[in-house]
Structure 1
Amino acid sequence: MSLNGILLTLTLLTTSSLAIGQTNCVTQLTDLNYIMNSKKQGLLRFEKSNANTDFSYQSEQAFSDYLSFAYQHILAANPRASMPCPVLTDTYQLLVKQQQRTSPPNIVDLIAPFELRQNNNHKAVLLIHGLTDSPFTYHDLAQIYFQQGYTVRTLLLPGHGTAADALSSINAKQWQQAVDYAIKRTIKDFDQVILGGYSTGAALLLNYLTVKPANPKITALMLFSPATEPHNKNGWLAKWIDRIPFVNWIDKDADIDFAKYESFPFNAATAADDAMRSIALPELIERQLPNLAIFSVMSDVDTTIDTRASLLLLSALHDVKIRPANSLDTLVYYGDKTTITSDFPKDYRVLNPQCKNATCKNIHGISHIAVVNSPDNPYYGIAGAYRNCGSYLDDDTLYKQCKTTEKPNIGERTAENIAAFPTFQRLTYNPYFTEQALYIKQFIKQVEGSQDNQ
């Protein structure tokens, strides 16, 4: 490295260290100067060290060993891992009560994989997050399952929890290896298992279930904004563009969101595309999904995933001859129900919540990233400090306005919404979360009832 390069690196590290030392993960969200510097200079875009990534993912290894490994990996590689982060979700407070975390939390404590433990090994739910996310994705949903008597386990997909650049050297096979380990280990440890996946995590679960031998311990599959096909049909080009020297990033953002990467390398798109191709319908229909019930949640205006492709996949899997448990299949569909085409199975239970209170008024579509978070989430919710302004990465003026305007317009970042409103914030919480929680509880009771009758 040249002398100028060394000096620049030292300057960025010093700037980052000073900012981190003077604030916490919430107050940093209001430091517009730091946000803009981080966006421009990539202060948080790169891991701080070549941390140990060596975990064998053999099912003989205890899940507690995996949790310890993942925590230490984040601590070593994430540039803000030790930053105070006073985001006290119900799940975090329960982890403290169970003596698995301390209070107040640092960032590593909130984004590391966790296990909410019951006092038995009867039943568990394993939850897999999506691309660029972390297990913080499940802090709200975890409460629903725990209240139903389930031990809740989460996984950190390789390349996540540290810095966005970590996704530049990852592939879908590594994600699948981690998911396979978590499923096998959880089946070993519990009598009944529900699998839940958000976005890319849903695709990885579907691939496992249709490739591996069926296991009667797995009783249900729950899919949140499942990744089936990208909304942008040019995703397959990412692997070729990534081979061009010095062309590494699709998006360069500030990465100020402690729980989710905001910058996005081309290789991440390649890996995600590979994960989705593994469950592409022409191949998937040649396999067989085990006899378990499916619960799905999706939005009609999802701009990350093609909702029509997801509906086609659910239709293909809804086969009473192969899978009698399909009588319990449930779809929670946000938006215009008439966009569900006539070829969707008529016997599918479709729930279509309608706006009845102030929480959902003036929201312009439920976004891909919103479905898993409660309006009460202290970080992503109505009163949360974080704002998703990724629609304006190429326009600093609009980006700043989105971050600072008193009352931004919120919803899914469709082309129509971006054109209609001067500043637009992508929705980060689900205004129908209370109803969704009720639907999940009803579904679980039905699944458990069907198991008792077998």
Structure 2
Amino acid sequence: MTYKQWLATTRYGIRSFDEIDEVDSLYVMTFSTGAPLLINHIADLKSPEKKLKGAVMISAAIKAKNRLAFLAPAAQYFVPWSTVFPEEDAVRYETFSTHAAAEFYKLTKNLLDKKYRFKLPLFIAISADDDTVSAEAALKYFCSAETDTKRMVWYQHADTNKKEKLAYFDEGKGACKQNIFVREAEEIGLPDYYKSFAHTALSVPPSDPHYGVNGAYKQCKHYFEDKDFKEFEECKRAVLPSFVVGETTDSFKERYGGIKSIRRGVYNPDYETMETEIFSFIGSID
């Protein structure tokens, strides 16, 4: 499947609301790759969508975090799988094909060009620690959006690399700063074990029966390369206070590895605040 087929499916889904009389206004919410699909869809339109009023993008994938992502289109012919893990997640894939990475790169490679600047009301929630997509690219895209109605929730932590914190980026110091709501982990009353916000966490409430606080799924696959799977199994079985939750960046693993089991976050303990911001944003649109 190609990114053009992904786009065709996106167009079909959005345009299907044209035939529903009960829907007057459409706000599209995306997670991760949904963002570039929506952006490309709008950029390719010859005339504006009549019902589409705005977008909410969670963990917006404007650009891959991996600087070698540009190699994926060639690498797919030699290395079919970027990662191979046991499929234990009931909803998301665990194993990732290099072909999918190649199509993602093609989909996103020009998103910071002027052609793709967003002109509709825009909401983005992103974590500075995101280890899957570039938070910096999401910030640049947000600040370049050609709309007066935009809002961002930016999550960061005291341990966030200083080069990834909002204050490091010129965009965050300029005119768009007034539209950015910074959520510093230490200041919002998180549980002691919850250290930073992962790419996989922002869109999921703590009450979710699969991913939430009491959910059955524990994201420990970064331990899977351990040949005897000891740390992998220990991570899944761990009870407090023997584990921490966060984004599995190299710096995070260096800080806590060998001290506690590390689980990648799959739910957002600040979900209610983010949800309130989303409803407030939608309510502000004329």
TM-score, normalized by the shorter chain, greater than 0.5: yes
Cα 1:343/1:258, change in 2 over 3 Å? closer
Cα 1:357/1:199, change in 2 over 3 Å? closer
Of 252, 262, 269, the match for 2:94: 262
Assess if the C-alpha contact under 8 Å between 2:210 and 2:216 holds in 1: yes
Q: For residue 338 of structure 1, report the CA deviation from its aligned partner.
A: 4.0
Q: Deviations over 1:153-183 (max 9, x none)?
A: xxxxxxxxxxxxxxxxx21111101001011
CA distance in 2, matches of 1:338, 1:310: 12
| Match status 1:233 vs 2:61 | no
User: For residue 276 of structure 2, what is the aligned residue in structure 1?
Assistant: 438
| Match status 1:406 vs 2:227 | no
User: For residue 252 of structure 1, what is the aligned residue in structure 2?
Assistant: 84
SS for the counterpart of 1:413 is: coil
Cα 1:193/1:249, change in 2 over 3 Å? same
Q: For residue 400 of structure 1, report the CA deviation from its aligned partner.
A: 1.7
TM-score normalised per structure 2? 0.87
Aligned residues: 266
Assess if the C-alpha contact under 8 Å between 2:85 and 2:221 holds in 1: yes
Assess if the C-alpha contact under 8 Å between 1:363 and 1:411 holds in 2: yes
CA distance in 2, matches of 1:360, 1:346: 34
- Larger fraction in helix: 1
Assess if the C-alpha contact under 8 Å between 2:2 and 2:103 holds in 1: yes
CA distance in 2, matches of 1:288, 1:341: 19
Q: Deviations over 1:164-206 (max 9, x none)?
A: xxxxxx2111110100101111133222111111110111001
TM-score normalised per structure 1? 0.56
Q: What amino acid maps onto 2:231 in structure 1?
A: L
SS for the counterpart of 2:11 is: helix
User: For residue 160 of structure 2, what is the aligned residue in structure 1?
Assistant: none
Q: Deviations over 1:31-57 (max 9, x none)?
A: xxxxxxxxxxxxxxxxxxxxxxxxxxx
Q: For residue 250 of structure 1, report the CA deviation from its aligned partner.
A: 1.6
Q: Deviations over 1:266-310 (max 9, x none)?
A: 111112112212x4223xx035644x2101100011100111111
CA distance in 2, matches of 1:346, 1:289: 17
User: For residue 33 of structure 1, what is the aligned residue in structure 2?
Assistant: none
Assess if the C-alpha contact under 8 Å between 1:200 and 1:275 holds in 2: no
Q: What amino acid maps onto 1:414 in structure 2?
A: T
CA distance in 2, matches of 1:241, 1:289: 32
The correspondence of residues 115-134 of structure 1 with structure 2, limited to 5 A, is none
SS for the counterpart of 2:115 is: coil
Assess if the C-alpha contact under 8 Å between 1:251 and 1:393 holds in 2: no
Cα 1:288/1:252, change in 2 over 3 Å? closer
Q: Deviations over 1:390-430 (max 9, x none)?
A: 21221122212212222321100010121222321101110
Cα 1:182/1:394, change in 2 over 3 Å? same
Assess if the C-alpha contact under 8 Å between 2:33 and 2:61 holds in 1: yes
Identical residues among aligned pairs (%): 23
The correspondence of residues 138-157 of structure 1 with structure 2, limited to 5 A, is none
Unaligned runs of at least 5 residues, structure 2: 158-164
CA distance in 2, matches of 1:340, 1:445: 31
Q: CA RMSD in A?
A: 1.9
Cα 1:269/1:208, change in 2 over 3 Å? same
CA distance in 1, matches of 2:196, 2:55: 25
Cα 1:298/1:289, change in 2 over 3 Å? closer
User: For residue 7 of structure 2, what is the aligned residue in structure 1?
Assistant: 176
User: For residue 131 of structure 2, what is the aligned residue in structure 1?
Assistant: 303
Q: What amino acid maps onto 2:273 in structure 1?
A: E
